[in-house]
Amino acid sequence: MRPSKMSLMAVFSLFAPVAHAADPDAHAAKDDRGPRGIFVAGGGGFALTSGADDEGQRAPTAYGSGGHFRLGEEVIERLTLGLEFGGSGGTGDDFEAGLGGFAVQASYRPGLLTEGLVFLVGTGVGGGSLTPTTEVDDGTAPRGTGGGAFHLVAVHYELDLNGPANDGFALSPSLRVYLLPSTTGNPVRLTSFVVGLESVYYFGR
């Protein structure tokens, strides 16, 4: 082989890897992120709240309403990670009850029977209280405040308003449970069940 041809081949062999690395199509990897992308959602509904007061005695059920706002992203198909702000409040015979908090949340749609079924869990920090409402407080009404860990579990059934597309609005009947457990030295605990509707918008990818 002539020296000039050998030199050209040597130069080509040196620059070929550089050209390959610079080619964006050469390293185009499959996007494994979830197709629904970023989402924002909010909702509310009817709430039942119960728990225990500062003496550890069971508090009657309070009836009221609850609401939440959440946002996040479908990081891989069927799995989302995000944040939720939520809570509820209500009144009983002689007291008011309320709890709320902020949680890191994950949701998963198993896709076993339908794409619309979604399970959610979350944990974070929050607080709550039981407050007497009687004009003359005889000490029998539930009372107390608590704070610390805040947990939630929920199940949704999304009704897609945009057909098979991965973006757009969905409406979800939902059942949510908020839990504020007691802490060392403070027996106050609260649990709230919220039945309602959520609207969610997926931005897609």
User: Which domains are delineated in the chain?
Assistant: 31-202 (2.40.160.20)
- Per-residue pLDDT reduced to its tens digit, 12-63: 454 444 444 445 454 444 567 889 999 999 999 999 999 888 888 888 899 9
Residue 28: per-residue pLDDT: 41
90/51 Cα distance (integer angstroms): 12
DSSP per residue over 58-116, as a string?
Answer: EEEEEEEEEEEEEEEEEEETTEEEEEEEEEEEEE-SSEEEEEEEEEEEEEE---SS-TT
Burial status of residue 75 (CB atoms within 10 A of its CB: 0-12, 13-18, 19 or more)? middle
Q: CB of 49 within 8 A of CB of 65? A: no
Alpha-carbon torsion, ordered 165, 167, 169, 173, to 10 deg: 80
Q: CB of 73 within 8 A of CB of 106? A: no
Claim: this prediction has a pTM higher than 0.75: yes
**Backbone torsions φ then ψ of 182, nearest 5 degrees:** -70, 160
9/120 Cα distance (integer angstroms): 60
- The candidate with the shortest Cα–Cα distance to 70, out of 81, 78, 59, 61, is 81
- Per-residue pLDDT reduced to its tens digit, 76-126: 999 999 999 999 999 988 889 999 999 999 999 998 778 899 999 999 999
Query: How is residue 140 written in tokens?
Result: 């029998």
Residue 33: per-residue pLDDT: 85
Query: How is residue 196 written in tokens?
Result: 């309602």
Q: How is the chain split among helix, strand and coil, in percent rounded to 5?
A: 10, 60, 30
